[in-house]
């Protein structure tokens, strides 16, 4: 099949992409190398297509398909999508990715080189021609662009023919025949085809369990992916970033009472549709409950999302309501402890199945969660964890990626911590929708660094307090000895509300370690008390309006480190590389013990499938050793990392 024929067949609806295919993931260098290989008439591999009846084809997108039969592209998506984008000047209808990967590719007609547009080196050289324009408009158009240049050259006649031959060769990419293999036959159902797909992609990115489940669901419900993505987009707008597989896990738990996603493929399509609607209602209810009762109003503090499918199952079985505040508190008590101890961070399906089983009434069996379900969940948690008491040692973590950071935030909201200067309680209905909470270092970072304290001490959780933006800026770089007494005098009791030791001797910078130790004790006592009230079901008053109705109130305060990390992420994104994950937690093999937190990490490489990279800013050597054991190459300065990235880009361009 010619390249141009494949593109025409996409436009006519004769070729489409199956639902289970991942999105477009190629980088610019891969597009460049593909075009270079085709220009030199090197082999670029074959296409694998599945011919199936149009009416039951699990095709991605809503573009119309041809009647009768359609060919679904199993292998060759990245190549065909890249060529479509270059030749048509826009992505194909099934596109899901970054179109910049195939825009602005240039061809130097004299050097016969392909590179993406770089203004500094290409702006003043008219021999760099836009590949897409040549493919669309043809060699004659390109020669007209070159004519003013050729007329001034002494050997213009020879060059004229030489350049025309090269442009014909470039334009001739449209007529290159790509070998194709067809999978046909009534016996080739979705199960067989998905297995074939995974075999073909054995060395690449295989389908996740969620992709596999969605592939089979999509055969009878083609709109399934769009329906799920619409829900994810709604929560994303509210500040909660969930994955498609996680949402499917909630649907599976509600519909089947089990955790394995494959079970969802065994139930009628109508039940799956109802399950999606039910999951949305249950998750909405939980988010509003967690924000109104615990103040967890944005993604960075809503940890432990692996526990939510269990809660979704419980809420769906109880008519999407919690009958009383006491039961709500006990359910939240279970959720918070799952968050703190990483209960669902390891063997997800195994642990979820245990918890889902605990929901069911021993007398009635599967499908009948009863009034004792929450107590059975708590009992199982105690059996697995033993003592659930919060101690001072649990607050010894540092950085905002630490597991107990959400507990500190939650404690500040539920226990009515007060702003140090204004005295206002840190709750939405008192602060107002447009007020922001920021992270405040009680002992300022700059002062601590000047006195030789390390980053883990500077960013200790016990050195954090939440304040309004105005107060945070007003306090600035002042030491506690210079402002805490004033705060207490203006707002009596405000220090106790933030669990700050009222001992002036501990406010001196040389006593900073003692300050941390004492505040950890105070935080642990307060957290244990708050969780005890949840366990007893005392029914707290809401601290916020429901988050999906009002929107999040709190943000992360900006500081020099966060600005640096944001700058690095933006730099990477602008050059077509992955942004990186901020505050990436390194978990031990059991998936439950947190060994450290990386400031910025690329667990899949700067470009997908590359070397694992981490950026550590002023971190102890021990963390670098831990990261190395996890396979990360560590950089300790942004300049060194960016120089490495620049070299990667240069190597790709060479």
Residues 34 and 13 in one domain: yes
Q: How confident is the model at residue 358, as a pLDDT? A: 92
Residue 241: pLDDT above 50?
A: yes
Mean pLDDT within 616-632: 86
Residues forming a β-bridge with 106? 115, 130
Q: In the chain, what percentage of residues exceed pLDDT 90?
A: 44
- Closest by CA to 409, choosing from 348, 354, 368, 464, is 464
Residues 522 and 587 in one domain: no
Segment 563-614, tens digit of pLDDT: 788 889 888 877 777 788 887 878 765 555 667 788 899 987 886 557 899 9
- Closest by CA to 31, choosing from 111, 91, 85, is 85
Residue 654 in 3-state DSSP?
Answer: coil
Residues 331 and 460 in one domain: no
- Whether 194 is in a domain gets the answer no
- Whether 186 is in a domain gets the answer no
Residue 433: pLDDT above 70?
A: no
- Whether 203 is in a domain gets the answer no
Q: How confident is the model at residue 282, as a pLDDT? A: 96
Is the sign of the CA dihedral 185, 190, 191, 196 positive or negative? positive
Task: Write the secondary structure of 19-31 as one string of H (helix), E (strand) and C (coil).
Answer: CCCCCCCCCHHHH
DSSP 8-class letter at 305: G
Residues 564 and 540 in one domain: no
Q: CB-based contacts of 447: which residues, under 8 Å, 6+ apart?
A: 477, 479, 509
Residue 143: domain span:
3-180
Residues 35 and 78 in one domain: yes
pLDDT band at 434 (very low <50, low <70, confident <90, very high): very low
Residue 38: pLDDT above 70?
A: yes
Please give the angle made by the CA atoms of 73, 77 and 80, to the nearest 5 degrees: 105
- Closest by CA to 339, choosing from 598, 592, 600, 601, is 592
- Whether 189 is in a domain gets the answer no
Chosen domain end from 160, 180, 200: 180
Residues 265 and 140 in one domain: no
- Whether 199 is in a domain gets the answer no
For the chain, how many structural domains are there in total? Answer: 4
Q: At what angle do helices 77-88 and 3-12 cross, to 10 degrees?
A: 90
Element (H, E) at 39: helix 28-39
Residues 141 and 47 in one domain: yes
Residues 219 and 248 in one domain: yes
Instruction: Give dist(CA 98, CA 23) in Å, integer.
Output: 9
Chosen domain end from 140, 160, 180: 180
- Whether 140 is in a domain gets the answer yes
- Whether 192 is in a domain gets the answer no
Residues 137 and 246 in one domain: no
Please give the angle made by the CA atoms of 380, 381 and 387, to the nearest 5 degrees: 125
Mean pLDDT within 243-259: 94
Tell how strand 15-16 and strand 69-75 pair up.
parallel
DSSP 8-class letter at 421: T
- Whether 555 is in a domain gets the answer no
Residues 578 and 646 in one domain: yes
pLDDT band at 557 (very low <50, low <70, confident <90, very high): very low
Segment 200-218, tens digit of pLDDT: 654 445 556 777 777 778 7
Q: CB of 129 within 8 A of CB of 137?
A: no
Higher pLDDT, 438 or 208: 438
Mean pLDDT within 7-36: 86
Which CA distances in Å does 195 have to 20, 74, 262, 337, 456?
11, 11, 14, 39, 48
Chosen domain end from 333, 355, 385: 385
Residues 171 and 283 in one domain: no
Instruction: Give me the half-sphere count of Cα atoms (radius 13 Å) on the Cβ side of residue 560.
Output: 9
Residues 362 and 423 in one domain: no
């Amino acid at each position: 099949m010619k390249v141009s024929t494949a593109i025409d067949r996409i436009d006519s609806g004769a070729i489409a992409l199956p639902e289970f295919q991942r999105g477009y993931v190629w980088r610019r260098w891969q597009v460049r190398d593909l075009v270079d290989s085709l220009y030199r008439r090197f082999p670029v591999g074959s296409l694998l297509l599945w011919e199936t009846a149009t009416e039951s084809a699990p095709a991605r997108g809503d573009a119309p398909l041809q009647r009768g039969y359609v060919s679904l592209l199993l292998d060759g998506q990245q190549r065909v999508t890249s060529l479509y984008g270059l030749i048509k000047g826009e992505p194909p209808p099934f596109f899901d990715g970054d179109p910049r990967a195939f825009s602005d590719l240039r061809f130097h007609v004299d050097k016969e080189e392909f590179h993406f547009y770089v203004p500094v080196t290409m702006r003043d050289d008219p021999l760099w021609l836009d590949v897409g324009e040549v493919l669309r408009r043809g060699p004659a158009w390109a020669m007209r662009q070159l004519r003013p240049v050729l007329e001034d050259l002494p050997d213009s006649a020879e060059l004229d023919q030489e350049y025309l031959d090269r442009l014909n060769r470039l334009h001739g990419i449209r007529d290159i025949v790509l070998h194709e293999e067809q999978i046909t036959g009534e016996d080739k159902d979705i199960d067989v085809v998905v297995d074939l797909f995974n075999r073909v992609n054995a060395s690449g990115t295989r389908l996740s369990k969620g992709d596999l489940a969605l592939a089979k669901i999509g055969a009878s419900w083609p709109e399934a992916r769009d329906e799920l993505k619409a829900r994810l987009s709604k929560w994303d707008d509210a500040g909660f970033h969930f994955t498609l597989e996680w949402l499917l896990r909630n649907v599976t738990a509600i519909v089947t009472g089990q955790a394995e996603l494959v079970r969802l493929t065994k139930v009628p399509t109508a039940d799956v549709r109802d399950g999606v609607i039910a999951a949305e209602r249950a998750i909405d209810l939980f988010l509003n409950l967690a924000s109104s009762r615990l103040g967890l109003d944005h993604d960075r503090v809503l940890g432990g999302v692996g526990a939510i499918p269990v809660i979704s199952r419980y809420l769906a079985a109880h008519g999407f309501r919690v009958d009383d505040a006491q039961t709500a508190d006990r359910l939240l008590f279970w959720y918070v402890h799952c968050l703190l101890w990483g209960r669902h961070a390891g063997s997800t399906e195994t642990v979820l199945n245990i918890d889902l089983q605990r929901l069911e009434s021993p007398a009635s069996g599967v499908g009948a969660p009863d009034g004792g379900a929450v107590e059975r969940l708590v009992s199982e948690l105690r059996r697995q964890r033993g003592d659930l008491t919060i101690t001072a040692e649990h607050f010894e973590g540092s950085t905002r990626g630490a597991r107990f950071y959400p507990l500190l935030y939650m404690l500040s909201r539920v226990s009515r911590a007060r702003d140090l200067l204004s005295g206002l309680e840190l709750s939405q209905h008192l602060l107002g929708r447009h007020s922001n909470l920021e992270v405040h270092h009680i002992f300022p970072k700059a002062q601590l660094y000047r006195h030789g304290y390390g980053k883990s001490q500077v960013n200790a959780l016990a050195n954090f307090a939440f304040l309004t933006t105005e107060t945070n800026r007003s306090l600035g770089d002042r030491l506690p000895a210079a402002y805490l007494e004033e705060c207490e005098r203006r707002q009596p009791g405000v220090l106790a509300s933030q669990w700050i030791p009222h001992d002036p001797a501990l406010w001196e910078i040389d006593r900073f370690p003692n300050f941390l130790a004492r505040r950890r004790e105070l935080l642990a006592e307060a957290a244990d008390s708050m969780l005890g009230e949840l366990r007893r079901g005392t029914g707290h008053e809401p601290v916020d309006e429901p988050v999906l109705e009002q929107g999040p109130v709190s943000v992360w305060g900006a500081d020099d480190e966060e600005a640096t990390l944001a700058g690095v992420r933006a730099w990477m994104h602008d050059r077509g590389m992955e942004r990186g994950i901020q505050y990436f937690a390194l978990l031990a093999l059991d998936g439950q013990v947190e060994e450290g937190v990386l400031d910025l990490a690329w667990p899949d490489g700067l470009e997908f499938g590359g070397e694992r990279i981490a950026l550590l800013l002023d971190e102890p050597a021990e963390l670098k050793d831990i990261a190395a054991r996890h396979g990360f190459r560590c950089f300790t300065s942004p300049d060194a990392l960016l120089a490495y990235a620049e070299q990667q880009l240069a190597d790709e361009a060479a």
